[in-house]
């Protein structure tokens, strides 16, 4: 197969023999033996040119894919015990990255000093292929794609307010009561003015009129702690404040089903040691975190 591919790519037997460091006779014998084994002529030879037959063109396309897979498999085996090195790019939502990803990055880089990392912490979905990302954290249900995903946890979309606000204005008893409250909207979590809930296992849609709209979850969190109103955030973002008593959850019985958290990476080739080892560390760290329990 390698000899046949070389003849096709180099455009002749002599050029292929030089590339492979084989005699022209050995190249010719290899092609003849391959054609006899397959029972089909693969190449048309003239004194000046070598051209594919129809069977040869189809066979070359298949052979090329096989040879690439073999090379990648060999490279992967060679890297199994290799020390991670090079540059690794990861993307994650801003708060999730600060709370969960950065501790892993710091620990990983301290253990592997030959690895450089670029962390893109943004509250938007990045395209791994177009933007050159190796690994991504995705919160929410994933569309069908050619990417590989590993589920590491789940989070809820929750409504919260400060104890002072709830004591002054009361806690809503149903989503419909939110029209009587001061609403804080974070476009990073709820970019639309329609909030989704669930009642008796049926979806419920409510239009809200925010008093304050911000573009970061940190700002919405600060406004809720400050007593401005009711904010909708993700459970991991408010877990510490709820535990300390700075915030209280409301309308928990109307929450949607939890959102999955995945580590996503490209599957276009066998992963390098730095990507595999970093993903393994992230999986262990995130699956063991109580805030993201499956």
**In CATH, what number is assigned to the domain containing residue 49?**
1.10.10.10
Final residue of a structural domain among 46, 79, 112: 79
pLDDT at 210 over 90: yes
Question: According to the model, what pLDDT value does residue 293 have?
Answer: 76
pLDDT classification of 128: cutoffs 50, 70, 90: confident
Number of structural domains, the chain? 3
Tell whether 182 and 209 lie within a shared domain: yes
Tell whether 13 and 52 lie within a shared domain: yes
**278-287 tens-digit pLDDT:** 999 999 999 9
Question: According to the model, what pLDDT value does residue 118 have?
Answer: 94
pTM: 0.68
Tell whether 263 and 250 lie within a shared domain: no
The domain of 270 spans 86-154+259-292
User: With helix as H, strand as E and coil as C, how does the chain read?
Assistant: CHHHHHHHHHCCHHHHHHHHCCCHHHHHHHHHHHHHHHCCCCEEECCCCEEECHHHHHHHHHHHHHHHHHHHHHHHHHHCCCCCCEEEEEEECHHHHHHHHHHHHHHHHHHCCCEEEEEEECCCCCCCCCCCCCEEEEECCCCCCCCEEEEEEEECEEEEECHHHHHHHCCCCCHHHHHHCCEEEECCCCCCCEEEEEECCEEEEEECCCCEEECCHHHHHHHHHCCCCEEEEEHHHHHHHHHHCCCEEECHHHCCCCEEEEEEECCCCCCCHHHHHHHHHHHHHHHCCHHHCC
pLDDT at 125 over 90: no
């Amino acid at each position: 197969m390698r000899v046949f591919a070389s003849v096709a790519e180099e455009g002749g037997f002599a050029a292929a023999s030089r590339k492979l460091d084989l005699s022209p006779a050995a190249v010719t014998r290899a092609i003849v033996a391959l054609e006899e084994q397959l029972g089909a002529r693969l190449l048309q030879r003239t004194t000046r040119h070598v051209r594919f037959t129809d069977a040869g063109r189809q066979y070359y396309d298949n052979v090329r894919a096989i040879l690439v897979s073999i090379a990648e498999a060999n490279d992967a085996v060679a890297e199994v015990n290799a020390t991670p090195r090079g540059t690794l790019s990861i993307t994650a939502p801003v708060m999730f990255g600060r709370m969960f990803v950065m501790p892993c990055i710091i620990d990983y880089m301290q253990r592997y000093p030959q690895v450089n990392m670029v962390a893109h912490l943004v509250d938007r979905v990045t395209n791994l292929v177009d933007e050159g990302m190796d690994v991504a954290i995705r919160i929410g249900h994933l569309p069908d794609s050619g990417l590989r995903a590993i589920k590491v946890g789940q989070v809820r979309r929750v409504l919260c307010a400060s104890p002072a606000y709830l004591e002054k204005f009361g806690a809503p008893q149903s989503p419909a009561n939110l029209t009587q409250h001061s609403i804080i909207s974070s476009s990073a979590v709820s970019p639309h003015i329609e909030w989704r809930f669930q009642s008796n296992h049926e979806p419920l849609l409510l239009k809200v009129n925010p008093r304050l709209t911000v573009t970061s979850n940190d700002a919405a969190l600060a406004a809720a702690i400050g007593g401005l109103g009711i904010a909708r955030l993700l459970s991991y973002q408010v877990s510490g404040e709820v535990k300390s008593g700075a915030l209280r959850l409301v309308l928990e019985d109307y929450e949607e089903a939890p959102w999955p958290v995945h580590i996503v990476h490209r599957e276009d080739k066998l992963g390098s040691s730095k990507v595999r080892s970093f993903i393994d560390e992230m999986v262990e760290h995130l699956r063991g975190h109580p805030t993201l329990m499956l």
